Amino acid sequence: MTLIKSISGIRGTIGGKQGENLTPLDAVMYAAAYGVYIKKQRNKENYRVVVGRDARISGEMIQQLVMNTLVGLGIHVIDLGLSTTPTVEMAVTLEHADGGIILTASHNPKQWNALKLLDHNGEFLNAKAGQQILDLAASGDIIFSEVDELGRITVNDAYIDMHIDEILDLPLVNKDAIDKANFRVVVDGVNSTGGIAVPLLLEALGVHAVKLFCEPTGHFPHNPEPLKEHLTDLMEKVVAEKADFGIVVDPDVDRLAFVDENGEMFGEEYTLVAVADYVLKHKKGNTVSNMSSSRALRDVTEKHGGKYTASAVGEVNVVQMMKDTNAVIGGEGNGGIIYPELHYGRDSLVGIALFLSHLAESNVSVSELRKGYPAYFSSKKKIQLTPELDVDKILQTMEAKYASEEINTIDGVKIDFPENWVHLRKSNTEPIVRIYTEARSQQEADMLADRFIAEIESIANS
């Protein structure tokens, strides 16, 4: 059981002891700290915060605790109920709210939940703001409002529809071409809010959706991280239905992956590559992804005459780099699409609409589309943290050992070899060390990851 208190938010497992897991007391404490932080940022009479959640089992309990804590601070709450992370982000700006909270543990299993915290732009808080909230929670310096100054809760369940309307209005979403293509698509909503939002979007675009695990019960039918080893049912369903392709999202709908018409993975790294290719065909510009993402985005960007930049891992870092470089498209290799013409947040829904537009205009199958991109293969492995594992020592040792190679240390240690690369970093959201590799074959990528796992274990035991 775990409670991770970081600048990225508060994430933990439900139940157990306060301070060691995400208990009701912890949810109230950090919601209160966030509320005080919001009030310190903007000197005004009325404060408003948008709150939404994915469908995980603990969501309703945590949401009630969080919302009523904010009410106790005199903050008005717009309750979106079951929603998606990008929908909450957009609702913050559309409501001109002071912030937002999304209750989701993203791709983590059902026993996890988290408070993801947004600023008044509907964007994730930066490191400085996150630290201020952690400090407020630790200090206990929180004063609640008197009875005549309590906030109130207003329910608004229209925002998924409004989010879709905003996507349909984007110039690069080619509704006519998508409608004429008469696509048939299988949707794996992992029994969360993607099962609500994705079919609604597809219906609005004239796509026939075959639903798989689209009941928002919170009982995830498989590991909710959208990786190949978890998607056997979707892959088989696409073939059985003779569908054009399959779509899978994570529980809060900010990660997106595709399965081609043959039931093969398109590759979550290539979600961003394909969408960026489409956007750059219509609008010249720069791109950004994090340093754990595929080289293929760099290749596609340079093909279109743009400049590619790598950021530190984490959505807030990608967004800042996109702003700094005026990027027209960006995101993360885990299937996260950030399209600033809509908003600065990972958004599977806009990713689906842009991918469908690309596919319709290209008039090729999904497998043929994939063959048109540089062939890189990735391996994503992890090592569980233990008290005896000194991550800083390991990273310093690796940096020194491979000093003759191209080294990047803005986030862990990334070692760029001529034909492949490895990125070693401590996770912000789980008690693990991540080992990412990329090479020209799957075997080479896996072998490179296994080699570095063995080296880490050797250093740890020395």
- What is the CB neighbour count within 10 angstroms for residue 305? 10
What are the backbone dihedrals phi and psi of residue 158, each rounded to the nearest 5 degrees, phi first?
A: -95, 0
CA 436 from centroid of its chain's CA atoms: 17
Which has the closest alpha carbon to 187: 204, 208, 218, 164? Answer: 208
Tally of CB atoms within 10 A around 436: 27
What is d(CA 10, CA 138) in angstroms, rounded to the nearest whole number? Answer: 13
- Residues labelled catalytic: 106
As a whole number of angstroms, the distance between CA 145 and CA 71 comes to 9
Q: Which of 234, 232, 269, 264 is nearest to 248 (CA)?
A: 234
Backbone angles phi, psi at 260, to 5 degrees: -80, 180
Residues 6+ apart with CB under 8 A from 101: 31, 34, 49, 50, 51, 52, 66, 88, 115, 116, 117, 118
Using an 8 Å Cβ cutoff, are 78 and 91 in contact? yes
- Helix 194-204 and helix 348-362, axial crossing angle in degrees, nearest 10: 40
Picking from 96, 90, 84, the residue whose alpha carbon sits closest to that of residue 170 is 90
User: How many Å apart are CA 383 and CA 432, to the nearest integer?
Assistant: 5
C-alpha span between 204 and 210 (Å, rounded): 14
Which of these, 5, 69, 73, lies nearest to 31 by C-alpha position? 69
